[in-house]
Chains A and B, each alone.
Chain A
Amino acid sequence: MDKNDFLELANTDVKKCMKCGKCSARCPSFDEMDIKPHQFVSYLAEGKIDKLLVSKSIWTCLSCLACVERCPRGVAPQSVIEAIRDTVTRKAGANGLSAEDIPPILDDDVPQQLLVAAYRKYNK
Protein backbone atom coordinates (compact mmCIF):
# COMPACT_ATOMS: atom_id res chain seq x y z
CA MET A 1 0.00 0.00 0.00
CA ASP A 2 1.30 3.46 -0.80
CA LYS A 3 0.47 6.85 0.65
CA ASN A 4 -2.50 7.32 -1.65
CA ASP A 5 -4.06 4.06 -0.50
CA PHE A 6 -3.80 5.27 3.09
CA LEU A 7 -5.25 8.65 2.21
CA GLU A 8 -8.19 6.90 0.60
CA LEU A 9 -8.68 4.56 3.55
CA ALA A 10 -8.52 7.41 6.08
CA ASN A 11 -11.07 9.34 4.02
CA THR A 12 -10.30 12.72 5.57
CA ASP A 13 -8.41 15.69 4.16
CA VAL A 14 -5.15 15.67 6.14
CA LYS A 15 -3.77 18.59 4.11
CA LYS A 16 -6.25 20.86 5.87
CA CYS A 17 -4.55 20.31 9.25
CA MET A 18 -3.00 23.49 10.65
CA LYS A 19 -1.18 21.68 13.48
CA CYS A 20 -3.02 23.46 16.27
CA GLY A 21 -2.98 20.36 18.46
CA LYS A 22 -6.59 20.75 19.65
CA CYS A 23 -7.33 17.13 18.80
CA SER A 24 -4.53 15.83 21.01
CA ALA A 25 -5.31 18.32 23.77
CA ARG A 26 -8.85 16.93 23.98
CA CYS A 27 -7.93 13.26 23.62
CA PRO A 28 -8.82 11.24 26.75
CA SER A 29 -6.21 8.66 25.82
CA PHE A 30 -3.36 11.12 25.23
CA ASP A 31 -1.22 9.74 28.07
CA GLU A 32 -1.51 6.22 26.70
CA MET A 33 -0.37 7.06 23.19
CA ASP A 34 3.17 6.85 21.82
CA ILE A 35 2.11 8.77 18.71
CA LYS A 36 -0.53 11.42 19.39
CA PRO A 37 -3.70 12.10 17.34
CA HIS A 38 -2.33 15.27 15.66
CA GLN A 39 0.80 13.34 14.71
CA PHE A 40 -1.27 10.65 12.99
CA VAL A 41 -2.61 13.39 10.77
CA SER A 42 0.72 15.05 10.01
CA TYR A 43 2.65 11.76 9.61
CA LEU A 44 0.12 10.62 7.05
CA ALA A 45 0.35 13.95 5.22
CA GLU A 46 4.13 13.54 5.15
CA GLY A 47 3.96 9.90 4.13
CA LYS A 48 5.62 8.58 7.31
CA ILE A 49 3.37 5.56 7.35
CA ASP A 50 5.89 2.99 8.57
CA LYS A 51 6.05 4.79 11.89
CA LEU A 52 2.27 4.75 12.24
CA LEU A 53 2.02 1.06 11.45
CA VAL A 54 4.02 0.16 14.57
CA SER A 55 2.32 2.66 16.88
CA LYS A 56 0.67 1.32 20.02
CA SER A 57 -1.88 4.15 19.92
CA ILE A 58 -4.13 2.13 17.61
CA TRP A 59 -4.93 -0.08 20.61
CA THR A 60 -5.63 2.74 23.06
CA CYS A 61 -7.74 5.06 20.91
CA LEU A 62 -11.28 4.90 22.35
CA SER A 63 -13.05 6.01 19.15
CA CYS A 64 -14.73 8.64 21.29
CA LEU A 65 -14.55 11.18 18.43
CA ALA A 66 -13.64 14.04 20.75
CA CYS A 67 -10.74 14.85 18.39
CA VAL A 68 -13.08 14.97 15.39
CA GLU A 69 -15.54 17.18 17.22
CA ARG A 70 -12.91 19.70 18.30
CA CYS A 71 -10.91 20.01 15.08
CA PRO A 72 -11.42 23.54 13.76
CA ARG A 73 -10.46 22.42 10.24
CA GLY A 74 -12.86 19.52 9.82
CA VAL A 75 -10.15 16.86 9.89
CA ALA A 76 -10.91 13.47 11.47
CA PRO A 77 -7.83 12.18 13.34
CA GLN A 78 -9.80 9.16 14.55
CA SER A 79 -10.34 8.04 10.96
CA VAL A 80 -6.59 8.13 10.34
CA ILE A 81 -6.01 5.97 13.43
CA GLU A 82 -8.75 3.59 12.28
CA ALA A 83 -7.22 3.36 8.79
CA ILE A 84 -3.90 2.33 10.31
CA ARG A 85 -5.54 -0.14 12.68
CA ASP A 86 -7.58 -1.65 9.84
CA THR A 87 -4.40 -2.06 7.80
CA VAL A 88 -2.65 -3.81 10.68
CA THR A 89 -5.55 -6.09 11.59
CA ARG A 90 -6.41 -6.98 8.00
CA LYS A 91 -3.08 -8.82 7.74
CA ALA A 92 -3.35 -12.53 8.51
CA GLY A 93 -2.50 -13.37 12.10
CA ALA A 94 -2.30 -9.74 13.21
CA ASN A 95 -5.59 -9.41 15.08
CA GLY A 96 -5.48 -7.44 18.28
CA LEU A 97 -7.94 -9.72 20.02
CA SER A 98 -8.39 -13.45 19.55
CA ALA A 99 -11.28 -15.65 20.58
CA GLU A 100 -9.03 -17.23 23.23
CA ASP A 101 -8.50 -13.84 24.85
CA ILE A 102 -12.18 -13.53 25.67
CA PRO A 103 -13.15 -16.21 28.26
CA PRO A 104 -10.74 -15.05 31.01
CA ILE A 105 -12.16 -11.51 30.92
CA LEU A 106 -15.81 -12.48 30.73
CA ASP A 107 -17.93 -11.75 33.77
CA ASP A 108 -21.66 -12.17 34.17
CA ASP A 109 -22.42 -8.61 33.19
CA VAL A 110 -20.32 -8.09 30.03
CA PRO A 111 -22.76 -6.65 27.49
CA GLN A 112 -22.82 -8.03 23.95
CA GLN A 113 -22.16 -4.48 22.80
CA LEU A 114 -18.69 -4.64 24.36
CA LEU A 115 -17.74 -7.92 22.69
CA VAL A 116 -19.09 -6.89 19.30
CA ALA A 117 -17.46 -3.46 19.44
CA ALA A 118 -14.08 -4.83 20.53
CA TYR A 119 -14.18 -7.48 17.83
CA ARG A 120 -15.03 -4.97 15.17
CA LYS A 121 -12.20 -2.66 16.24
CA TYR A 122 -9.49 -5.21 16.95
CA ASN A 123 -10.29 -8.06 14.54
CA LYS A 124 -10.65 -8.39 10.79
Chain B
Amino acid sequence: MQICYYPGCTLKSKAVDLDIQARKIAEKFGIEMVDIDKWQCCGAEYPTAPNETATKLSAVRALNYAKSHGGKLLTLCSACHNVLKRVNEDMRTNEKTIMKANIYLELNPEYRGETEVIHYLEMLKNIVGFDKIKSMVVKPLNRKVAAYYGCLLLRPSNVMKFDNPENPTILEDLIVALGGTPVKYSHKNECCGAYVSIKSPDLAKKKSQSITDDAKAFGADELITACPLCYYNLKKNCGENLKISYFTALMMEALGIDG
Protein backbone atom coordinates (compact mmCIF):
# COMPACT_ATOMS: atom_id res chain seq x y z
CA MET B 1 0.00 0.00 0.00
CA GLN B 2 1.19 3.51 -0.82
CA ILE B 3 0.36 6.62 1.15
CA CYS B 4 0.98 10.31 0.39
CA TYR B 5 3.48 11.73 2.84
CA TYR B 6 4.33 15.28 3.80
CA PRO B 7 7.91 15.20 5.21
CA GLY B 8 8.42 18.91 5.97
CA CYS B 9 11.73 20.76 6.13
CA THR B 10 13.03 19.53 9.49
CA LEU B 11 12.70 15.87 8.55
CA LYS B 12 14.72 16.51 5.42
CA SER B 13 17.62 17.94 7.40
CA LYS B 14 18.10 18.05 11.18
CA ALA B 15 15.66 15.25 11.93
CA VAL B 16 16.54 13.04 8.98
CA ASP B 17 16.82 10.01 11.30
CA LEU B 18 13.17 10.30 12.21
CA ASP B 19 12.22 10.32 8.54
CA ILE B 20 14.45 7.40 7.54
CA GLN B 21 13.45 5.25 10.50
CA ALA B 22 9.75 5.90 9.94
CA ARG B 23 10.03 4.82 6.29
CA LYS B 24 11.87 1.61 7.19
CA ILE B 25 9.31 0.73 9.86
CA ALA B 26 6.41 1.43 7.51
CA GLU B 27 8.05 -0.76 4.84
CA LYS B 28 8.23 -3.61 7.33
CA PHE B 29 4.43 -3.40 7.52
CA GLY B 30 3.96 -3.16 3.77
CA ILE B 31 3.40 0.60 3.60
CA GLU B 32 5.34 2.82 1.23
CA MET B 33 5.48 6.50 2.18
CA VAL B 34 5.52 8.54 -1.03
CA ASP B 35 6.62 12.18 -0.76
CA ILE B 36 4.05 14.50 -2.26
CA ASP B 37 5.12 16.47 -5.29
CA LYS B 38 6.71 19.91 -4.77
CA TRP B 39 5.80 20.31 -1.11
CA GLN B 40 6.71 23.56 0.60
CA CYS B 41 7.29 24.40 4.27
CA CYS B 42 4.00 24.47 6.18
CA GLY B 43 5.15 27.40 8.33
CA ALA B 44 5.46 25.36 11.54
CA GLU B 45 2.91 27.44 13.46
CA TYR B 46 -0.77 27.80 12.64
CA PRO B 47 -1.66 31.51 12.41
CA THR B 48 -4.81 32.29 14.41
CA ALA B 49 -5.65 35.69 12.89
CA PRO B 50 -8.55 35.32 10.44
CA ASN B 51 -6.89 37.64 7.92
CA GLU B 52 -3.87 35.34 7.53
CA THR B 53 -4.49 33.53 4.27
CA ALA B 54 -1.17 33.60 2.40
CA THR B 55 0.53 31.80 5.31
CA LYS B 56 -1.86 28.88 4.90
CA LEU B 57 -1.48 28.36 1.17
CA SER B 58 1.42 25.90 1.20
CA ALA B 59 -0.64 23.65 3.45
CA VAL B 60 -3.67 23.94 1.17
CA ARG B 61 -1.52 23.08 -1.85
CA ALA B 62 -0.30 19.90 -0.16
CA LEU B 63 -3.78 18.94 1.00
CA ASN B 64 -5.21 19.49 -2.46
CA TYR B 65 -2.49 17.32 -4.01
CA ALA B 66 -3.25 14.47 -1.62
CA LYS B 67 -6.96 14.72 -2.40
CA SER B 68 -6.43 13.26 -5.87
CA HIS B 69 -3.63 10.89 -4.77
CA GLY B 70 -5.34 8.50 -2.41
CA GLY B 71 -7.21 11.01 -0.26
CA LYS B 72 -4.95 10.68 2.79
CA LEU B 73 -1.99 12.84 3.81
CA LEU B 74 0.45 11.27 6.25
CA THR B 75 2.47 13.49 8.60
CA LEU B 76 5.23 12.73 11.07
CA CYS B 77 6.54 16.04 12.43
CA SER B 78 4.12 17.25 15.13
CA ALA B 79 4.26 20.84 13.86
CA CYS B 80 3.42 19.89 10.27
CA HIS B 81 0.61 17.74 11.58
CA ASN B 82 -0.84 20.56 13.66
CA VAL B 83 -0.69 23.11 10.84
CA LEU B 84 -2.02 20.80 8.11
CA LYS B 85 -4.85 19.51 10.25
CA ARG B 86 -5.95 22.96 11.40
CA VAL B 87 -5.72 24.51 7.95
CA ASN B 88 -7.71 21.56 6.64
CA GLU B 89 -10.41 22.28 9.23
CA ASP B 90 -10.51 25.90 8.00
CA MET B 91 -10.89 24.62 4.45
CA ARG B 92 -13.87 22.59 5.59
CA THR B 93 -15.63 25.16 7.73
CA ASN B 94 -14.49 28.73 7.10
CA GLU B 95 -16.13 30.07 3.94
CA LYS B 96 -13.87 33.13 3.75
CA THR B 97 -10.68 31.09 3.91
CA ILE B 98 -12.12 28.54 1.47
CA MET B 99 -12.93 31.26 -1.03
CA LYS B 100 -9.65 33.15 -0.72
CA ALA B 101 -7.40 30.06 -0.83
CA ASN B 102 -9.19 28.63 -3.86
CA ILE B 103 -8.94 31.94 -5.71
CA TYR B 104 -5.26 32.41 -4.87
CA LEU B 105 -4.33 28.90 -5.94
CA GLU B 106 -6.78 28.86 -8.89
CA LEU B 107 -8.03 25.44 -7.88
CA ASN B 108 -10.48 23.75 -10.15
CA PRO B 109 -12.28 21.80 -8.80
CA GLU B 110 -12.32 23.69 -5.52
CA TYR B 111 -10.61 22.25 -2.46
CA ARG B 112 -12.95 21.98 0.53
CA GLY B 113 -11.07 19.97 3.13
CA GLU B 114 -11.73 16.56 1.57
CA THR B 115 -8.30 15.11 2.41
CA GLU B 116 -7.83 13.14 5.62
CA VAL B 117 -4.72 14.21 7.53
CA ILE B 118 -3.28 11.36 9.58
CA HIS B 119 -0.28 11.29 11.85
CA TYR B 120 2.18 8.41 11.66
CA LEU B 121 1.17 7.26 15.16
CA GLU B 122 -2.48 7.17 14.08
CA MET B 123 -1.41 5.09 11.08
CA LEU B 124 0.38 2.65 13.40
CA LYS B 125 -2.65 2.37 15.62
CA ASN B 126 -5.48 2.34 13.09
CA ILE B 127 -3.98 0.93 9.89
CA VAL B 128 -1.17 -1.36 11.10
CA GLY B 129 -2.52 -2.14 14.60
CA PHE B 130 -0.55 -2.47 17.85
CA ASP B 131 -1.26 -6.21 18.01
CA LYS B 132 0.46 -6.67 14.68
CA ILE B 133 3.41 -4.60 15.88
CA LYS B 134 3.60 -6.64 19.07
CA SER B 135 3.64 -9.88 17.11
CA MET B 136 6.73 -8.73 15.20
CA VAL B 137 8.86 -7.66 18.18
CA VAL B 138 12.14 -9.58 18.28
CA LYS B 139 13.89 -7.66 21.07
CA PRO B 140 11.48 -6.44 23.76
CA LEU B 141 12.50 -3.11 25.29
CA ASN B 142 12.49 -4.26 28.93
CA ARG B 143 12.95 -0.77 30.35
CA LYS B 144 10.94 2.14 31.70
CA VAL B 145 10.05 4.68 29.05
CA ALA B 146 8.30 8.03 29.52
CA ALA B 147 5.89 8.88 26.70
CA TYR B 148 6.03 12.62 26.03
CA TYR B 149 3.28 14.22 23.92
CA GLY B 150 3.85 17.96 24.24
CA CYS B 151 1.26 20.29 22.72
CA LEU B 152 1.03 20.08 18.96
CA LEU B 153 -0.41 16.60 18.55
CA LEU B 154 -3.12 17.19 21.14
CA ARG B 155 -4.31 20.78 21.04
CA PRO B 156 -6.74 22.20 20.18
CA SER B 157 -8.46 18.86 20.78
CA ASN B 158 -11.71 19.82 19.04
CA VAL B 159 -9.73 19.97 15.77
CA MET B 160 -6.82 17.60 16.37
CA LYS B 161 -9.00 14.73 17.70
CA PHE B 162 -5.77 12.83 18.28
CA ASP B 163 -6.43 11.14 21.60
CA ASN B 164 -7.77 12.06 25.02
CA PRO B 165 -6.30 15.60 25.29
CA GLU B 166 -5.74 15.41 29.06
CA ASN B 167 -4.65 11.80 29.32
CA PRO B 168 -3.54 10.42 25.96
CA THR B 169 -2.33 6.81 25.81
CA ILE B 170 -1.32 6.10 22.21
CA LEU B 171 2.43 6.32 22.95
CA GLU B 172 2.07 4.24 26.12
CA ASP B 173 0.18 1.60 24.14
CA LEU B 174 3.02 1.56 21.64
CA ILE B 175 5.62 1.20 24.41
CA VAL B 176 3.69 -1.77 25.82
CA ALA B 177 3.47 -3.35 22.35
CA LEU B 178 7.26 -3.03 22.08
CA GLY B 179 7.78 -4.82 25.39
CA GLY B 180 8.64 -1.74 27.46
CA THR B 181 7.06 -0.33 30.61
CA PRO B 182 5.45 3.10 30.27
CA VAL B 183 6.10 5.49 33.15
CA LYS B 184 3.17 7.27 34.76
CA TYR B 185 4.11 10.92 35.31
CA SER B 186 2.26 14.20 35.30
CA HIS B 187 4.13 16.30 32.73
CA LYS B 188 3.50 14.34 29.55
CA ASN B 189 1.35 17.10 28.01
CA GLU B 190 3.41 20.05 29.26
CA CYS B 191 5.11 22.43 26.84
CA CYS B 192 8.88 22.06 26.34
CA GLY B 193 9.26 25.79 25.76
CA ALA B 194 8.70 25.52 22.01
CA TYR B 195 10.00 28.40 19.88
CA VAL B 196 10.78 30.69 22.85
CA SER B 197 14.07 28.83 23.13
CA ILE B 198 15.32 31.30 20.53
CA LYS B 199 14.32 34.47 22.37
CA SER B 200 14.25 33.30 26.00
CA PRO B 201 16.49 30.23 26.31
CA ASP B 202 16.19 30.31 30.11
CA LEU B 203 12.42 29.97 29.98
CA ALA B 204 12.68 27.02 27.58
CA LYS B 205 15.27 25.44 29.84
CA LYS B 206 13.01 25.74 32.86
CA LYS B 207 10.09 24.19 30.99
CA SER B 208 12.16 21.33 29.55
CA GLN B 209 13.71 20.55 32.92
CA SER B 210 10.35 20.36 34.64
CA ILE B 211 9.40 17.61 32.19
CA THR B 212 12.52 15.48 32.44
CA ASP B 213 12.76 15.97 36.23
CA ASP B 214 9.22 14.67 36.57
CA ALA B 215 9.80 11.71 34.23
CA LYS B 216 12.98 10.79 36.12
CA ALA B 217 11.31 11.11 39.50
CA PHE B 218 8.86 8.45 38.37
CA GLY B 219 11.62 6.13 37.27
CA ALA B 220 12.05 6.75 33.54
CA ASP B 221 15.18 5.36 31.87
CA GLU B 222 14.35 7.14 28.64
CA LEU B 223 11.84 9.63 27.19
CA ILE B 224 10.31 9.46 23.70
CA THR B 225 8.79 12.14 21.50
CA ALA B 226 7.49 12.56 17.95
CA CYS B 227 8.43 16.24 17.64
CA PRO B 228 11.81 17.55 16.42
CA LEU B 229 11.48 20.78 18.42
CA CYS B 230 10.63 18.96 21.66
CA TYR B 231 13.55 16.64 20.92
CA TYR B 232 15.88 19.60 20.47
CA ASN B 233 14.75 21.51 23.57
CA LEU B 234 14.73 18.47 25.82
CA LYS B 235 18.04 17.13 24.57
CA LYS B 236 19.81 20.46 24.71
CA ASN B 237 18.56 21.34 28.17
CA CYS B 238 18.30 17.95 29.82
CA GLY B 239 20.10 15.44 27.60
CA GLU B 240 22.63 14.76 30.33
CA ASN B 241 19.93 13.80 32.85
CA LEU B 242 17.78 11.56 30.72
CA LYS B 243 18.07 9.81 27.39
CA ILE B 244 15.80 11.51 24.82
CA SER B 245 14.78 9.56 21.70
CA TYR B 246 12.35 9.62 18.84
CA PHE B 247 9.69 6.94 19.21
CA THR B 248 10.90 5.48 15.93
CA ALA B 249 14.29 4.64 17.46
CA LEU B 250 12.58 2.36 19.97
CA MET B 251 10.61 0.71 17.20
CA MET B 252 13.76 0.04 15.17
CA GLU B 253 15.36 -1.58 18.19
CA ALA B 254 12.42 -3.73 19.22
CA LEU B 255 11.56 -4.80 15.68
CA GLY B 256 15.21 -5.57 14.91
CA ILE B 257 15.43 -3.23 11.92
CA ASP B 258 18.93 -2.10 10.95
CA GLY B 259 19.50 1.67 11.20
- A residues near B (Cβ < 8 Å) are 8-9, 11, 28-29, 32, 59-60, 62-66, 68-69, 76, 78-79, 82-83, 86, 96-97, 101-102, 105, 107, 109-118, 120-122
Contacts and interface: CB of A to CB of B under 8 A. Distances in A.
B193 A113 contact: no
Given A28-B191, A64-B155, A114 B197 contact: yes
B196 interface: yes
Given A9-B51, A112-B9, A116-B41, A28 B190 contact: yes
A118 B194 CA distance: 9
B84 interface: no
A65 B196 CA distance: 14
26 contacts: A9-B49, A9-B51, A28-B190, A28-B191, A29-B203, A62-B194, A62-B207, A63-B45, A64-B155, A65-B151, A68-B156, A69-B155, A76-B156, A83-B48, A83-B49, A109-B232, A111-B229, A112-B10, A112-B44, A113-B9, A113-B79, A113-B229, A116-B41, A117-B45, A120-B44, A121-B195
A114 B199 contact: no
Nearest to A9: B49
B1 interface: no
Contact of A109 (B50, B201, B235): B235
Contact of A120 (B45, B155, B231): B45
Interface of B: 8-10, 13-15, 41, 43-45, 47-51, 55, 77, 79, 151, 154-157, 165-166, 189-191, 193-201, 203, 207, 228-229, 231-232, 235-236
Q: Interface SS of chain B: helix, strand, loop or mixed? A: loop
Contact of B195 (A9, A78, A114): A114
B228 A111 contact: yes
B49 A110 contact: no
A117 B10 CA distance: 12
Nearest to A59: B199
A40 to B, nearest CB: 13
B195 A65 contact: no
Contacts of B44: 112-113, 116-117, 120
Contacts of B77: 113
Given A8-B50, A122-B199, 6 more contacts: A62-B191, A62-B194, A113-B8, A114-B232, A115-B198, A118-B198
A11 B50 CA distance: 7
B199 A111 contact: no
Contacts of A79: 48
A111 B10 contact: yes
A8 B166 CA distance: 30
Contacts of B235: 109
Contacts of A120: 43-45, 47, 55
Nearest to A69: B155
Contacts of B203: 29, 32, 60
